[in-house]
Chain A
Amino acid sequence: MNAFFALLTRDVRLAAREGGGAALALGFFALMATLVPLGVGADLHLLARVAGGILWVAAVLAALLSLDRLFQGDYEDGSLDLIALSPLPLEASALAKIVAHWLSTGLPLTLLSPLLALLFNLPPQGTAMLFVSLLVGTPAVSAVGAVGAALTLSLRRGGLLLPFIILPLLVPAVIFGAGAVSAALDGLAGGGLGFLAAFSGASLLLAPFVAAAGVRLNLAG
């Protein structure tokens, strides 16, 4: 357990410090939210209507930015070999890295989202649902993303391939997350939140095993 938390805090520290990219993801999220009204127009009714979908898509893209470095940095400097050799099972190490990634991107993005929702004129019940759905759903982005990061970790241009193979797999998270916000705007209870939680939970449960398999095949030979 100590090794698990040691790896987790190390990864969070690396992400939070200069060059770690956690702040960049937040900046990207805020910039995407600024660009959209410039593209679609400043009609506040329209913006309130599309806010849930836009902010969900922007959050997923922002979380993807730092994913390609999830294993790659450790692979390049050799620490991934040490992590794989440590008594901590590689599956647990993968989970620690997923949680660390979520703490350094998914959680800050969620915390920033009410402010951006304000810019989009999202009503309070929509903002609350956006916050909750991002809180519940962004772990799935980190988990599914970790699988892609593990499969592409030895690639020099992995940063380009990763979103391409991961985004189709994240469709359910976007649909249920943004759907929950729309449902809240229409005054419907629940919406996709239950499905989102199920998708997130299943991803968190399965992804460490798949990601560990992906790391192993890249370390072998």
Chain B
Amino acid sequence: MFGYANPTKFMALSGALLPWCWGLTLLCLAGGLYLGFAAPPDYQQGTTVTIMFIHVPAAIMAELAYAVIAVASIFSLVQRHILADVAARAAAPLGALFTALGLITGSLWGRPTWGAYWVWDARLTSFLLLLFLYLGYMALWSAIEDETKAARAAAILALVGAVNIPIIKFSVDWWNTLHQGESIISGKLDPVYLWPLLLMAAGYGFLFAGLMMTRIRTAIVERRIRSLMQAGA
């Protein structure tokens, strides 16, 4: 696996994988959206249940992207590998975007269902905090000019955040139950809803992988151009 941590090998491999990745993204998203819109309205939520197919995969990817950053940060600190830095940096805006998408679709769903765009529910609150963690991480990256220093500082912050996220999640759950006992609707998902949801989740996953590869490739090419220009000057 670490053989592909070589930028040249990564460029070759990702170049070959990318078209397949985009194809699968399109296929899954198109299938998922079609099945999602074809699904019957829920007896309680009505047609707003369709939002779930866009919302839930976004929430999953939002958390996954932070896991990617945390793992890449460990490799960055332990192995000092340039590709780990690039991967961590590439994942952050994507994670922030998925978090924002999750929050926006969630509040659009909340308006007809709960009667308000925003309620201080434990899940909503911890996702809002996750968005701030992403933004702070990105702000630290861009604030430090020296790239090596920025990468290491951001990696440390990402790991502190990764340790803290479960504690934040726990504290927000505790806070929420202290103030209002909210019952979260749980139940088994009918296949009519499960299939489009799984397809959409797969589509989001391929989309994330494709965007990640593209962003890493761009960063590698950028570095090469910069070193060429420095060599020429």
Contact = CB atoms under 8 A, between A and B. Distances in A.
Interface of A: 147, 151-152, 154-155, 157-158, 161, 164-165, 167-169, 171-172, 175-176, 179, 182-183, 192, 195, 199, 206, 210, 213-214, 217-218, 220-221
A221 B149 contact: yes
- Give the interface SS of chain A, mostly helix, strand, loop or mixed: helix
A172 B171 contact: yes
Contact of B140 (A161, A172, A182, A183): A161
A171 B137 contact: no
Contact of A157 (B137, B143, B163, B175): B143
Contacts of A168: 129, 132-133, 136, 161, 168
B133 A164 contact: no
7 contacts: A151-B153, A151-B157, A168-B132, A168-B168, A169-B160, A169-B164, A172-B167
Contact of B171 (A171, A214, A220): A171
Given A171-B129, A172-B167, A214-B153, 14 more contacts: A147-B160, A151-B140, A152-B143, A155-B143, A161-B136, A161-B139, A165-B136, A167-B132, A169-B161, A179-B174, A182-B178, A199-B171, A217-B152, A221-B146
Interface residues of B, number: 29
Interface of B: 129, 132-133, 135-137, 139-140, 143-144, 146, 148-149, 152-153, 156-157, 160-161, 163-164, 167-168, 170-172, 174-175, 178
B129 A176 contact: no
B168 A171 contact: yes
Contact of A164 (B136, B144, B168): B136
A169 B129 CA distance: 9
A164 B135 contact: yes
A164 B132 CA distance: 8
Nearest to A158: B143
A157 B163 CA distance: 27
Nearest to B128: A168
Contacts of A183: 178
A168 B152 CA distance: 20
A172 B164 CA distance: 9
Contacts of A175: 171-172, 174-175
A154 B144 contact: yes
A191 to B, nearest CB: 8
A179 B156 contact: no
Closest 10 A/B residue pairs (Cβ): A165-B136, A172-B171, A175-B171, A175-B175, A217-B152, A168-B132, A151-B153, A169-B164, A164-B136, A168-B129
B172 A179 contact: no
